[in-house]
Amino acid sequence: MFVGELTFPITQIKGVGKVTAADFASLGVEKACDLVTLFPRSYDDRTVMRSLKDMGDEGGTINTAVAITDHSHYMSKGQRVLKMTARDLNSGRTLHLHCFGRSFMENAYPVGTSWFINATVTKTGSVFSASAFTLGASEEAVGIGTILPVYPLSGSLTQKTVRKAVDTILSNRYMKFDDEIPERLRLAHDLMHMDEAVRQMHHPGSMGELEKARRTLAYTELLHLEVNLVRGRQERAPQDRTVVVSPLEKRLVSSLPFHLTKDQEKCLDEIRRDLDWSTMNRLLQGDVGSGKTLVAWIAALHMIAKGFQVAFMAPTELLARQHAEGAATLMEKLGVHVAFLTGDVKGRERGYLLDALKKGDIDLAIGTHALFSKDVVFKSLGLVIIDEQHRFGVEQRQALSHKGKKVHVLMMSATPIPRTLAMTVFGSMDISTIESMPEGRRPIVTHIVDERNRDRMYASIAVEFERGHQAYFVYPRIDDEGESDLKDVTTMYSFLQGKYPGIPSALIHSRLPEEEKIRILDDFRAKKLMYLVSTSVVEVGIDIPDATCMVIEHAERFGLAALHQLRGRVGRSSLQSYCFLVYYGSLTEEAKARLKVMRESTDGFMIAETDLKIRGPGEFIGNRQSGFLRLKVASLTDDVELMAQAKADAEEIVKDDRGLLRADNAMLRQLLG
Ligand code: ADP
Ligand code: MG
């Protein structure tokens, strides 16, 4: 049978009553199969002898033999406590055993007797003592020689209850778990049978076998996930077909003051192949400033040249407008009709726009999610591009594709995505990656600044102003409506005006009216303003080539992804740029680690991997969507290689046998449906 077929409720297990069942339920354990897959969170390895000689100052557990040498008593909190003195037979050292509420031990373990012991020892000065310990007449009695499972607990559950419940199920001799991966893969990757793996997880024979069991279960879990993902994906566009680059695209490229990078070309080739020969569902990822937008415009032209309309969606009005202006500059001269649509476009203007979209007079519509409200009708929508979106819902995507007959979707990620997430969350999409930056970019120099030593920072920014370069000063937005944050930026703003008299600047925050924000950004782009003081509204997408300084106040409060995004607002041309991470007070270890990563690396892919390790997948994909990633055994941060293997195997399986009809894939069909 498969593990998942053990569906009887745990209340049928001897010794599991109502209260215990409720405690188990809060661990997500309701059926027998849940219990069998409630794997230990750690193990107590008693296979190696450890005596007091092996204890450092921090103490630890011992597995050894002792002789009881003395009994005495003392008073603690009004209670008479037995203290037994014991000599560790393996080191000759002395151990004090405090028997709180266990005075029966006086008779059970008389002076002069010897026992095996497992104990958690603390060391105070040169004195070893323990109050949590087990004494026994044999090694087995105290678990010496075994590796004990340590389970997650809840409510009144104890290790003993959980161990007993699990063992009761596993002790059924007639029950044997069937493999859940094809035999050829089990052999090829040197994995265990499922039955053995499950048992080894609960009662490992050795740490080596435990690792093999863990690998078996992790691989099984990942293979199932990947097979599902690969099956749900469109069939790949054939590699041997030719793609034709339209004159429209060529004219845009030749009008640019630079060449496309090799990676931009490679991504475009992948995209065009989809657009010509398949239905695209593709994620375009690349570090901040790597030039994703341009790739998107060229992809848009590819469809426009074929007579289709393209919709481009940005997360905020500000960004949508920036893109609309950029697109108009690049493409109107090629005869492409670009329109801008947000929720704020109302009345006659809106009516006119909607009409033009419906008639097909507009080729490229750029806007916010308002593009996909009900009243917006396209004549022939062929491609939807979604910018800077790292949190998106499946529903949203579906709403889009219903606006046309066969709509291609291109997503652009705001931040590089860790490999494991790319293989899982985004596994049903194809991925194009821009790995390298346009030529001539210099790595941003990052300084970590104690808030009390900010004067040097201000001095070096003043030098940048003299060179005609611009700066951002960012305050954290802790929540959208927080009065106190606003006060912070306002105070900061007048403080900076004192520091830089005569240098034009503006304060920008999320509660300003949209037109006001737009005006400020336009002035900043036109260099009528030299610096902006802001809450993190500048976080995504804003592209101002001459801005070379980014000051982030309270950097310790930002996550890595946000810091990297913010820093990415500078260093967008060949000018040398600087980022100052200003911190307040003393830093937690985690904050220190984060800032250190930021100082040492400008590689968004590496930063994203670290962020995943520190904060988990919810940060990247939204907590709501990260649910299906609650893998029981496999780890998103440690099992990268195993996941890549499972993905490759899944591709292979689906390529030859999409319906999982072959006999050796039969169990996958049964398990995955
Ligand atoms: P992101 O990937 O962060 O969205 P953008 O698309 O905004 O980055 O590009 C950042 C800047 O790089 C833009 O000013 C853009 O014009 C410029 N750029 C794009 N491609 C190239 C290239 N091949 N060579 C030089 N600059 C480029
Ligand atoms: Mg962008």
pLDDT per residue over 8-28, tens digit each? 999 999 889 999 999 999 999
What gap in Å lies between CA 116 and CA 106, rounded to an integer? 17
Q: Please state the atom number of ligand 1 nearest to the C-alpha of residue 258.
A: 24
Per-residue pLDDT of 122-161, as tens digits, reads: 999 989 999 999 999 998 888 888 899 999 999 999 999 9
- Mutation pick for ligand 1 pocket among 543, 546, 570, 577 (CB with most ligand atoms within 8 Å): 543
What is the share, in percent, of the chain residues with pLDDT greater than 70? Answer: 93
**Which tokens belong to 360?**
């097909």
Q: Please state the atom number of ligand 1 nearest to the C-alpha of residue 412.
A: 4
pLDDT at 499 over 90: yes
Torsion region of 471: left, alpha or beta (phi above 0 gives left; psi -120 to 50 gives alpha): beta
What gap in Å lies between CA 474 and CA 488, rounded to an integer? 10
pLDDT at 635 over 90: no
Backbone angles phi, psi at 599, to 5 degrees: -70, -35
**Which tokens belong to 387?**
């910018």
**Which tokens belong to 661?**
């009809």
**Which tokens belong to 450?**
């104690």
pLDDT at 491 over 60: yes
CATH of 57-145, one of 2.40.50.140, 3.40.640.10, 1.10.10.60, 3.40.50.1360: 2.40.50.140
Q: Return the beta strands (E) in 524-630 as ranges.
A: 531-534, 547-553, 578-583
- Measured CA distances, 333 to 244, 300, 324, 330 (Å): 22, 15, 14, 7
Alpha helices for 258-344 (secondary structure H): 262-277, 292-305, 317-331
Q: How many whole angstroms from 310 Cα to the centroid of ligand 1?
A: 21
Lowest average pLDDT, out of 487-501, 549-563, 609-623, goes to 609-623
Report which bound ligand comes closest to the CA of 296. 1
pLDDT band for position 513 (50/70/90)? confident
| DSSP letter (8 states) at residue 574 | S
Q: Exposed, middle or buried: residue 17 (CB in 10 Å: 0-12, 13-18, 19+)?
A: exposed
pLDDT at 624 over 60: no
Q: What is the pLDDT of residue 665?
A: 92
Highest mean pLDDT among 39-53, 324-338, 370-384, 580-594: 324-338
What gap in Å lies between CA 36 and CA 34, rounded to an integer? 5
Domain ranges for the chain, please list them: 1-47+149-175, 57-145, 247-434, 445-601
Per-residue pLDDT of 293-327, as tens digits, reads: 999 999 999 999 999 999 999 888 888 888 999 99
Q: How many whole angstroms from 595 Cα to the centroid of ligand 2?
A: 24
Q: What is the pLDDT of residue 614?
A: 78
Rounded to 5°, the CA angle 150-152-157 comes to 95
Q: Give the long-range contacts of residues 519-526, CB within 8 A, separation 24 or more.
A: 521/318, 521/322, 524/470
Q: Please state the atom number of ligand 1 nearest to the C-alpha of residue 434.
A: 2
Amino acid letter for position 590: E
What gap in Å lies between CA 102 and CA 98, rounded to an integer? 9
Asked if 275 and 282 touch (Cβ cutoff 8 Å), the reply is no
Q: What is the pLDDT of residue 397?
A: 61
Tokens 């995943």 sit on residue: 612
Q: Exposed, middle or buried: residue 137 (CB in 10 Å: 0-12, 13-18, 19+)?
A: exposed
Helix (H/G/I), strand (E/B), else coil: 497: helix
Asked if 74 and 87 touch (Cβ cutoff 8 Å), the reply is no
**Please, what's the largest Cα pairwise distance for the chain?**
100
Across-strand partners of 448? Answer: 581
Class of domain 247-434: alpha beta
| Residues in the 5 Å CB sphere of ion ligand 2 | 293, 541
Asked if 506 and 283 touch (Cβ cutoff 8 Å), the reply is no
Q: Tell me which residue has its CA closest to atom 20 in ligand 1.
A: 291
Q: Which residues have C-beta atoms less than 6 Å from ligand 1?
A: 258, 260-261, 264, 286, 288-294, 438, 543, 545, 572
CATH topology match: 57-145 vs 445-601 = no
Q: How many whole angstroms from 260 Cα to the centroid of ligand 1?
A: 9
Q: Give me the DSSP letters along 381-397.
A: EEEEEE-S-SS--HHHH
Alpha carbon of residue 136 to chain centroid: 47
Q: How many whole angstroms from 541 Cα to the centroid of ligand 2?
A: 5
- Mutation pick for ligand 1 pocket among 290, 538, 565, 569 (CB with most ligand atoms within 8 Å): 290
pLDDT band for position 236 (50/70/90)? low
Name the residue among 122, 62, 66, 132 with its Cα closest to residue 100: 132
Please give the average per-residue pLDDT across 611-628, as a whole number: 66
Q: Please state the atom number of ligand 1 nearest to the C-alpha of residue 568.
A: 3
Report which bound ligand comes closest to the CA of 319. 2
Report which bound ligand comes closest to the CA of 291. 1
Q: How many whole angstroms from 120 Cα to the centroid of ligand 2?
A: 55
Across-strand partners of 135? Answer: 117
Q: Tell me which residue has its CA closest to atom 25 in ligand 1.
A: 438
Across-strand partners of 579? Answer: 446, 550
Q: Which residues of 640-664 are buried (b: 16+ CB within 10 A; e: fewer)?
A: eebbebbbebbbebbeeeeebeeee
Amino acid letter for position 230: V
Per-residue pLDDT of 54-72, as tens digits, reads: 888 888 899 999 999 999 9
Q: What is the pLDDT of residue 293?
A: 94
Report which bound ligand comes closest to the CA of 416. 1
Q: Please state the atom number of ligand 1 nearest to the C-alpha of residue 260.
A: 23
Per-residue pLDDT of 166-189, as tens digits, reads: 999 999 878 899 999 999 999 999
Helix (H/G/I), strand (E/B), else coil: 147: strand
Asked if 166 and 35 touch (Cβ cutoff 8 Å), the reply is yes
Element containing residue 669 per DSSP (H, E): helix 666-672
Q: How many whole angstroms from 387 Cα to the centroid of ligand 2?
A: 7
What gap in Å lies between CA 561 and CA 582, rounded to an integer? 17
Mean pLDDT of the chain: 89
Q: Tell me which residue has its CA closest to atom 23 in ligand 1.
A: 260
Tokens 């599902």 sit on residue: 228
- Mutation pick for ligand 1 pocket among 256, 259, 293 (CB with most ligand atoms within 8 Å): 293
Cα dihedral 418/419/424/427 (nearest 10): 110
Class of domain 445-601: alpha beta
Cβ-based neighbour number of residue 600 at 10 Å? 11
Q: How many whole angstroms from 289 Cα to the centroid of ligand 2?
A: 7
Q: What is the pLDDT of residue 537?
A: 60
**Which tokens belong to 302?**
């590819």
3-state secondary structure 34-100: HHHCCCCCEEEECCCCECHHHCCCCCEEEEEEEEEEEEEEEEECCEEEEEEEEEECCCCCEEEEEEC
Amino acid letter for position 190: D
| DSSP letter (8 states) at residue 494 | H
